[in-house]
C-alpha cells in the first residue's frame, strides 16, 4: 500500500524551513527519501531504519517514528537547489523486493 505524503506542494522563500511527512497504514521496516528534478532520475538522499533515528544530509535531516509508522523530512534554511519533488519510499521488510513510493511533495524555492 502506497505511503501518504503531505503536503502535496510547498512554496518557500529562500532561507525558510519546510517539513515533509510520510505515513503508512502498515508497518514500516525502513524509509528511504529521494529528490527528483523535473525530467531527471530520483536521487537517493537518506535511509531511516527502525529505532526512531534521525539522520542528516547537509541541511536536510529526517526522523522515523516506528510506532506512529511515519517519517518526516526537515529542510532548514532552504536553498534554491532544494527545489524538486521529494518522494518517500517504504520498505516492507521483504528483502530486495523494491520500494513502494508515495506520490511525492513538490517543493518550490523562490529567491
Interface with other proteins (CB under 8 A), residue total 23
The residues pairing with 64 across neighbouring beta strands, listed in sequence order, are 71
Pairing of strands 9-13, 105-110: parallel
Q: Does 12 bind other proteins (CB under 8 A)?
A: no
* Alpha carbon distance 78, 81 (integer Å): 8
**Which helix or strand (DSSP H or E) is residue 64 part of?**
strand 60-65
Q: Does 103 bind other proteins (CB under 8 A)?
A: yes
Using the contact rule CB under 8 A, the part of the chain among 17-25, 57-65, 76-84, 95-103 near other proteins is 95-103
**Binding residues for other proteins (CB under 8 A):** 2, 30, 32, 39-44, 47, 87, 89, 91, 95-104
Amino acid at each position: 500500500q502506497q505511503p501518504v505524503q503531505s503536503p502535496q506542494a510547498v512554496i518557500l522563500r529562500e532561507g525558510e524551513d519546510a517539513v515533509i511527512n510520510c505515513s503508512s497504514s502498515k508497518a514500516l521496516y525502513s524509509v528511504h527519501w529521494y529528490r527528483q528534478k523535473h525530467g531527471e532520475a530520483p536521487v537517493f538522499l537518506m535511509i531511516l531504519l527502525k529505532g526512531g533515528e534521525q539522520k542528516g544530509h547537509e541541511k536536510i535531516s529526517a526522523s522515523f517514528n516506528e510506532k506512529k509508522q511515519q517519517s518526516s523530512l526537515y529542510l532548514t534554511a532552504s536553498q534554491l537547489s532544494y527545489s524538486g519533488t521529494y518522494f518517500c519510499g517504504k520498505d516492507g521488510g521483504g528483502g530486495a523486493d523494491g520500494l513502494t513510493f508515495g506520490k511525492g511533495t513538490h517543493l518550490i524555492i523562490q529567491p
